[in-house]
A = this chain, B = another copy of it.
């Protein structure tokens, strides 16, 4: 298992971690199989989406904020209920096929760490299972 450390820069912030994940895959020495990226936080998630136009993730952050407003008469005293919901909507893990030692992603795809209650220093865990 490899651990990535990253810094997020806003309450909501999608951080492209594809290069770090690819480097971790190489260090893990996986040739064929599945790479799992797991986020050990409850107010952040991980997703795979477009990396060509940065407006895409900016729009995604906006749409998620509209769907799950920060203030909503929630019971949770810490005040970050919206972040918990959005974390589960994106999911706590992403999974990429590895073939011939390389991550198999579509040409527009990147792996994003999804911060919903930042800015913070965060981690993601990478693990490989063989095919």
Binding site for B on A (CB under 8 A): 1, 33-34, 36, 38-42, 47-50, 53, 55-56, 58-60, 62-64, 66-68, 72, 74-78, 81-82, 84-85, 87-97, 99, 104-109, 125, 127-131
Contact = CB atoms under 8 A, between A and B. Distances in A.
Contacts of A99: 1, 127
Given A40-B104, A42-B109, A72-B63, A78 B95 contact: no
A85 B97 contact: no
A24 to B, nearest CB: 13
Main SS at interface, chain A: mixed
Given A53-B78, A130-B131, A38 B96 contact: yes
17 contacts: A33-B127, A34-B129, A36-B95, A38-B96, A42-B108, A42-B109, A49-B84, A56-B84, A58-B76, A60-B84, A63-B68, A67-B67, A92-B94, A93-B94, A93-B95, A128-B131, A129-B130
